[in-house]
Amino acid sequence: MRSLRGLLAVSGHLAARHAPPSGAASSPHSVLFARALQILSQPDPVRLHKLSPPDSGIVELRLERPEARNAIGKEMLKGLRSAMDKVGADPTANVVLVASSVPKVFCAGADLKERRLMGSSEVREFVNSLRATFSSFEALPIPTIAVVEGAAFGGGLELALSCDLRICGANATFSLPETGLAIIPGAGGTQRLPRIVGRSRAKELIFTGRRFDATEAVNMGVVNYRVPGGEAYQKALELAREINQKGPLAIRMAKKAINEGMEVDLSSALAVEEECYEQVLHTQDRLEGLAAFAEKRKPLYTGK
């Protein structure tokens, strides 16, 4: 969170001033100070939380910008990049749940109020950074699960599409509405959606920008599971717990083999699989898995 000293330093006022007497007009200094306090009191729009035992290894990434329905502006983008970097550098993280703390919304997409104040070059820089952030998120070596309750529009849906799995509540709604604003999905939507639902269906959804509900989402394969409203997090947590019990190195190599193999021809993909299998062949976890099977007990994997 930004420091008050840093905010005031922008205008050269490093010390807090006393408020003016009652009835007196506010000075520019006091207005600046009040605005700085308001900004300082706002919570971070993205929060990371590591679950405690027995769920150690599961990390929650929470979107928390209720005043804008989790719309992605500069601060949220910065928070997403920071959170992604922290998860990527954490060797104890095995699964990430991406959820919203705001009722009835996952993410409403780009912050259009902020966007209106940007010039074309600034918009280009922002969208390029958002696309790169989602690509880096997709490239995390561990599984990611999007938990969608309510609206996932524009960049919000693109964030969900960059996750490995998606779980939604029955109240979820989805859309890539960008063509209605005379632009196109620019954070991966034109590329990830057709890879998930097929070229023709993706064209329909992007050309029309229409909204679709949870039932259609699961039927098209946009989400893995549709559950009753309010239960998406619990279903996602169940999946995360299943994954968390498996060999962490094996999960990482399985993700790498699938992701890289899907982008090349079958012969090359099989070579990727061979390379990834080689990475797990000489691990302590593989020997532990065999020992646990022979001894009819639960394996204790260490990621080594």
CATH number of the domain at 71, please: 3.90.226.10
Task: Give tens-digit pLDDT for 146-199.
Answer: 999 999 999 999 999 999 999 999 999 999 999 999 999 999 999 999 999 999
Q: Which residues are CB-neighbours of 232 under 8 A, at least 6 positions away?
A: 147, 148, 149, 167, 168, 169, 172
Domain closes at, from 245, 260, 280: 245
Q: Which of the listed residues 245, 260, 284 is the one where a domain comes to its end?
A: 245
Joined tokens for residue 124: 């280009």
Bond prior to 54 in cis (omega within 30° of 0) = yes
Question: 104 and 220 share a domain?
Answer: yes
206 and 77 co-located in one domain: yes
Q: Are residues 156 and 282 in the same domain?
A: no
Q: Of 157, 142, 152, 169, nearest to 235 (Cα)? A: 169
Domain of residue 264: give its range. Answer: 248-295
The predicted model scores a pTM of: 0.84
Q: Tell me the pLDDT band of 29, cut-offs 50, 70 and 90.
A: low
**Cα–Cα nearest to 180, from 74, 107, 109, 102:** 109
- Overall domain count for the chain: 2
Asked whether residue 12 carries a pLDDT value surpassing 90, the answer given is no
Sheet arrangement for strand 105-107 = 105-107, 151-153, 173-175, 212-213
Tell whether the model's pLDDT for residue 278 goes beyond 70. Answer: yes
Same domain, 180 and 268: no
pLDDT at 22: 45
Tokens of 102: 């705001």
Is the same domain home to 192 and 267? no
Looking at the structure, do residues 142 and 193 belong to the same domain, yes or no? yes
Q: Is residue 5 part of a domain?
A: no
Instruction: Output the pLDDT for position 139.
Output: 95
Q: Give per-residue pLDDT as tens, 216-262.
A: 999 999 999 999 999 999 999 999 999 999 999 999 999 999 999 99
Q: Which residues are known catalytic residues?
A: 110, 155, 158, 178
Q: For position 252, which CATH number holds?
A: 1.10.12.10
Least confident of 93-102, 113-122, 226-235: 113-122
Looking at the structure, tell me whether residues 212 and 252 fall in a common domain.
no
Select from 209, 189, 208 the least CA-distant residue to 197. Answer: 189
